[in-house]
Structure 1
Amino acid sequence: MSELPPADLPQPPDLPHAEPHPNPAGIKRLAVLTSGGDAPGMNAAIRAVVRTATHHGVEVVGVRRGFSGLHRGDLRMIGPRDVANTIQRGGTVLLTARSKTWRTPEGRASGAAHLREWGVDGLVVIGGDGSFHGGYYLQQEHGVPIIGIPGTIDNDLYGTDHTIGYFTAVETALGAVDRLRDTGASHERIFVIEVMGRHAGHIALEVAVAGGAEEVFIPEDPKPVDGVVQIVKDSVAKGKASSIIIVAEGYPGGAQGVASAIEAGTGLETRVSILGHIQRGGSPVSSDRVLASRLGEAAVYALMDGTAGVMVGRVNGEVIHTPLHETWERRKDVSRDLYRCAKTLSI
């Protein structure tokens, strides 16, 4: 039978409860939209925004089809029941789109007018740097308070350790790599696998380490592709009949360029597999659901506190605010330690 701890030991603090959050900004109604490419976990973020706002007596307007829907007036009231059974779903229930019209002052003026008609006091934008640009100019030109939530699989936004959708995209890509490795080993072939990442190699680097790849090519290090030829030759000399090469789509020449260099330099048969948009879909993993839930709650609290023009992110486990313009002006680098690890383990 276990003994009770001595009474003089420090006691842990009481766990926090969902107490009313102060609302000095007087927010009565907010709007939320998803914009740009979809990312697993966007629905969890929408759900968190709606339920946090409702818990504190704030109404929510859902904007369908992103900024495209905003300038056309595609808005409706949404409540807790509208987001029930969505936390596990991929994509976005509010739909998303890219809008050329929103890039014009006239398009943004139309969107601002619709928000005023609906009595909206602030807008939550879930998306990447393009979406944040759209929100930033809306606030600059029309004074609409904007809070950004980082929703993009590329994990390329400064001000947060991870973006919503990144964890799921890595797991999806890794599952494909594991399956292709089985095929490569059976046929003694080299697979060159392209993962998403137009300007950033976060997905490629993590997948390369987790998937045991022989080499990884990322935009942050546009090294000559000729180097992979010697790597493959060395692998063959060591008795390895198959190899996995990971390439971020933003690397110059992409997977096809890397594969062509390998075939030209070694004469070995290669296969190119471009995973593409499969990485965007699917049910979000738990890490994305939790991250989205925390940031959705934080976005509502930021508006209620009178904060505007920032992205809510998580750094070292803590929620922080970063000015929207810094999320794209300041570069978020890949982990140099992880890159070194990938090279060290690829012998």
Structure 2
Amino acid sequence: MIKKIGVLTSGGDAPGMNAAISAVVKSAISKGIEPYVVREGYKGLINKWIEKVDLSFASDIIARGGTVIGSARFPEFKEESVRKVAVENLKEMGIEALVVIGGDGSYQGAEKLTNLGINCIGLPGTIDNDIVSSDYTIGFDTALNTVVRSIDQIRDTMQSHSRCCVVEIMGNGCGDLTLYGSIATGAEVFSTKESFLTEDQICEQVTMLAKAGRRSVIVAVAEQLYDSHALAKKIEKASGYVTRATVLGHIQRGGSPTAMDRYLAINAGIFAVEKLVEGKGGLYIGMSENKLVARDINSTLNMPKPDKTEEYEKTKKINLSI
């Protein structure tokens, strides 16, 4: 029976991470295991920023956004010599297992620590929903609701003045926030890495809507595909709509987690502790067909991305109809 479990958050923060931390701490205590938090991700393992926490700590953080124990990018962790320092620090404190909350990069670190003798379990924490081995990730639902609320509010003012707005949405190479947000808000035109439109194609579609008398148009685009403000000027010149651009930015990463994100985070945290108690490591906890599953981390990193072409095409057809 293990006596001490640690938990850390790595990579970009996501709403629901604190709920997952809380679940790991509470679940560990319920099983007679001492819980520890590692501050600032993998960097904290090297610097021994590790501290014991209690039920009071866990109870106060569930509703908070971000991650109260901090997160940091730490590319040096790719070096085996650096990882060995982390393992030595954990063993010195008697911590036998670790829950890592983050994305694919975080899982790679967790797998390598498992190979060095510290059993690790990964939980999917990212707003981008870009971990293909899980249907949904912790933080995605909250971020999506922020996107939908923002587009709805932008629509109000565009409708009032018969205008067009380019809305840039986060995603880091995965278009799920843009796709789902467009479905939920009826964005007339949308473009992601998976279903890319050239600037000329966007202008053509908006111009068609203008000629049809559409009072307002939302153009939802995934980040890093265009210069959104330059695209807005190009759309205005082509279509005649007064066109503005709004970059939603980091408001998508913050905020109190939704009930669904808390539900996923808490159940995944409990499940992770159960697996560690069983003596298992090198696993990733994901959501598949509405059930939690534990898979080998290495296999999850190589799973093919689901094809959502049909979903894109159906949504474009109804949103762009005139």
TM-score higher than 0.5 here? yes
Q: Secondary structure at the match of 1:329?
A: coil
Identity of aligned residues (%): 39
Matches within 5 A, 1:213-232: 213-232=187-206
Q: What is the TM-score of this pair, normalised by structure 1?
A: 0.88
Query: Do structure 1's residue 198 and structure 2's residue 159 form an aligned pair?
Result: no
1:103 maps to 78
Of 220, 223, 242, 1:246 maps to 220
2:281 maps to 308
2:50 maps to 75
1:238 & 1:217 partners in 2: Cα distance? 21
Q: Secondary structure at the match of 1:345?
A: helix
Using a 3 Å threshold, how does the CA distance of structure 1 residues 228 and 335 change in structure 2: closer, same or farther?
same
Deviations 1:20-68 (A, max 9, x none): xxxxxx2221110011111000011001111111111111111011111
Matched length: 320
Alpha-carbon contact 1:148-1:312 (below 8 Å) kept = yes
Using a 3 Å threshold, how does the CA distance of structure 1 residues 277 and 334 change in structure 2: closer, same or farther?
farther
Letter in 1 for 2:165: F
1:277 maps to 250
Letter in 2 for 1:313: G
1:86 & 1:337 partners in 2: Cα distance? 40
Using a 3 Å threshold, how does the CA distance of structure 1 residues 87 and 145 change in structure 2: closer, same or farther?
same
1:40 maps to 15
Letter in 1 for 2:161: H
Q: Secondary structure at the match of 2:178?
A: helix
- Structure 1 position 307, deviation (Å): 1.8
Query: Do structure 1's residue 320 and structure 2's residue 293 form an aligned pair?
Result: yes
Of 188, 199, 211, 1:237 maps to 211
Letter in 2 for 1:239: G
1:254 & 1:313 partners in 2: Cα distance? 35
Deviations 1:269-319 (A, max 9, x none): 321111011101000000000000110001001111222111101111211
1:303 & 1:206 partners in 2: Cα distance? 34
1:267 & 1:230 partners in 2: Cα distance? 12
- Structure 1 position 334, deviation (Å): 5.8
Q: Secondary structure at the match of 1:97?
A: coil
Q: Secondary structure at the match of 1:161?
A: coil
CA RMSD, 1 decimal: 1.6
- Structure 1 position 89, deviation (Å): 0.8
2:32 & 2:308 partners in 1: Cα distance? 42
1:260 & 1:307 partners in 2: Cα distance? 55
Q: Secondary structure at the match of 1:175?
A: helix
The runs of 5 or more residues in structure 2 that have no matched partner are none
1:214 & 1:72 partners in 2: Cα distance? 50
Letter in 2 for 1:221: S
2:146 maps to 172
Greater alpha carbon shift after TM alignment, 217-226 vs 41-50? 217-226
- Structure 1 position 257, deviation (Å): 5.5
1:269 & 1:333 partners in 2: Cα distance? 37
Rg bigger for which structure? 1
2:105 & 2:163 partners in 1: Cα distance? 39
- Structure 1 position 338, deviation (Å): 3.0
Using a 3 Å threshold, how does the CA distance of structure 1 residues 257 and 161 change in structure 2: closer, same or farther?
farther
1:107 & 1:72 partners in 2: Cα distance? 11
Letter in 1 for 2:317: T
- Structure 1 position 254, deviation (Å): 5.1
1:239 & 1:115 partners in 2: Cα distance? 65
1:296 maps to 269
